[in-house]
């Protein structure tokens, strides 16, 4: 067990005063716990949430539990490229540094839906939105180095996670788990390629699996309408074993570890679980896929032609 992790908690003495962090999807679940922890450590904490009403309630909770007055709520809908661009330009207008970008928000096993930009919803939210956001914030991350990009993936990237290169929007034979597994594999590949591109800049990057955690993430699990869908069984199974999942406080430890543990300062591009380096799927270690995904994503979000 690394030194800074003690009985499921990160060393409370790691001070983040003077640092600025963004946590996406900070209004509930793992993001909310991470925001409370980072604010308690003195970080200027930006809670990036799509629903400002829910966000305001969460902001009150973060303020109360962290006793910090340095927490801000900003609107960000990762499934909309326009919203991501608006968020980034408003952040860059107001803030002078960025030490940690925590790409935490996610949607899991939703019914087939398309984003406003026409992408499959899990691909749009979990990968493309965070891809664009990170790219728009790379200059400020470099100026603030040493800085970190932490991307919350999932063990699901190993369970049938494949990038469907010829049908990335999964228009044929969509299943919710196929969409989730693909998007979470993309998180691992994105982090790997980002590490390669950021070498020598002081920006380091980590992807991780938080464990099976009792959060709102399971909201779609019992709700797979197609009786022939193979994921239905997994949904029911997941619902049954949910009481045995980790609580969010324990679940958020690995992403916090990746965000602040001093011993990770010189590591980059790896995948973590339980505060240790873990093994990605073989596709998750494929550098050719990582580069291909980056190039494809640049085109899709309009960063290149």
* Catalytic residue (choose from 6, 112, 174, 180): 180
Of residues 19 and 184, the one with the C-beta less far from ligand NAP: 184
Query: Comparing C-alpha atoms, which of 218, 214, 212 is closest to residue 235?
Result: 218
Q: What is the DSSP string of 54-120?
A: HHHHHHHHHHHHH--S-EEEEE--TT-HHHHHHHHHHHHHH-S--SEEEE-----SPPS-B-TTSSB
The CA distance from 18 to 1, in Å, is 28
CB atoms within 10 A of CB 279: 11
Complete edge-to-edge strand list for the sheet that includes strand 203-209? 71-75, 44-49, 20-24, 100-103, 147-152, 203-209, 270-273, 276-277
Contacting residue, 19, 41, 44, 50, with ligand NAP by CB under 6 A: 50
Task: Look at the block and give the residue holding tokens 């619902």.
Answer: 239
Rounded to a whole number of angstroms, the minimum distance from the CB of residue 18 to ligand NAP is 26
Q: Which of 74, 128, 137, 152 binds ligand NAP (CB under 6 A)?
A: 152
Q: Tell me if 122 contacts ligand NAP by CB under 6 A.
A: no
Between 64 and 216, name the residue whose CB sits nearer to ligand NAP: 216
Name the closest residue to ligand NAP (Cβ): 29
Of 178, 191, 90, 206, nearest to 137 by C-alpha is 90
Active site residue 272: no
Please tell me whether residue 263 binds ligand NAP under the rule CB under 6 A. Answer: no
**Residue entry with tokens 């609580």:** 247
The only residue of 104, 147, 182, 204 in contact with ligand NAP, by rule CB under 6 A: 104
- Of these, 23, 38, 106, 206, which contacts ligand NAP (CB under 6 A)? 106
What DSSP element (H or E) covers 272? strand 270-273
Question: For residues 144 and 157, which CB has a smaller minimum distance to ligand NAP in the complex?
Answer: 157
Q: Would you count residue 171 as binding ligand NAP (CB under 6 A)?
A: no
Minimum distance of ligand NAP from residue 58's CB (angstroms)? 8
For residue 125, state whether it binds ligand NAP (rule: CB under 6 A): yes
d(CA 66, CA 206): 25
What is the β-pairing status of strands 9-10 and 5-6? antiparallel
Q: Taking CB under 6 A as the rule, does residue 77 contact ligand NAP?
A: yes
Interface with ligand NAP, residue 54, by CB under 6 A: yes
Q: Cβ of residue 84: shortest distance to ligand NAP, in angstroms?
A: 9
- Rule CB under 6 A: choose which of 128, 213, 260, 290 binds ligand NAP: 213
SS3 161: coil
Cα angle for residues 217, 147, 131 (degrees, 5° grid): 50
How many residues in the shown chain lie near ligand NAP by CB under 6 A? 29
The single residue among 144, 205, 215, 254 that binds ligand NAP, judged by CB under 6 A, is 215
Residues 16-35 that bind ligand NAP (CB under 6 A): 24-25, 27-31
Catalytic positions: 180
Binding site for ligand NAP (CB under 6 A): 24-25, 27-31, 50-51, 54, 76-79, 104-108, 125, 152, 154, 209-210, 212-213, 215-217
């Amino acid at each position: 067990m690394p030194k800074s992790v003690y009985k499921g908690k990160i060393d409370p003495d790691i001070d983040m005063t003077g640092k600025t962090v963004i946590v996406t999807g900070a209004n509930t679940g793992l993001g909310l716990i991470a925001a409370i922890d980072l604010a308690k450590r003195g970080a200027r904490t930006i809670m990036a949430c799509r629903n400002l009403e829910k966000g305001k309630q969460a902001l009150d909770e973060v303020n109360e539990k962290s006793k910090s007055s340095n927490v801000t709520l900003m609107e960000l809908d990762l499934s909309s490229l326009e919203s991501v661009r608006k968020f980034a330009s408003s952040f860059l207008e107001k803030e002078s540094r960025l030490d940690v970008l925590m790409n935490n928000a996610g949607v899991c096993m939703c019914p087939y839906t398309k984003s406003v930009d026409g992408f499959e919803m899990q691909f749009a939210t979990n990968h493309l939105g965070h891809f664009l956001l990170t790219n728009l914030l790379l200059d400020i991350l470099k100026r603030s180095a040493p800085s970190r990009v932490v991307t919350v993936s999932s063990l699901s990237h190993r369970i049938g996670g494949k990038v469907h290169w010829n049908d990335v929007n999964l228009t044929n034979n969509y299943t919710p788990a196929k969409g989730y597994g693909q998007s979470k594999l993309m998180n691992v590949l994105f982090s790997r390629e980002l590490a390669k591109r950021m070498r020598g800049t002081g920006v380091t990057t980590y992807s991780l699996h938080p464990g099976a955690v009792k959060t709102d993430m399971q909201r779609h699990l019992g709700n797979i309408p197609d009786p022939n869908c193979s994921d239905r069984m997994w949904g029911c199974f997941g619902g049954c074993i949910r009481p045995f999942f980790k609580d969010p406080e324990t679940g958020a430890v690995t992403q916090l570890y990746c965000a602040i543990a001093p011993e990770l300062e010189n590591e980059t591009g790896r995948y973590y679980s339980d505060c240790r380096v873990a093994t990605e799927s073989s596709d998750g270690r494929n550098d050719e896929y990582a580069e291909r995904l980056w190039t494809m994503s640049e085109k899709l979000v309009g960063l290149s032609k």
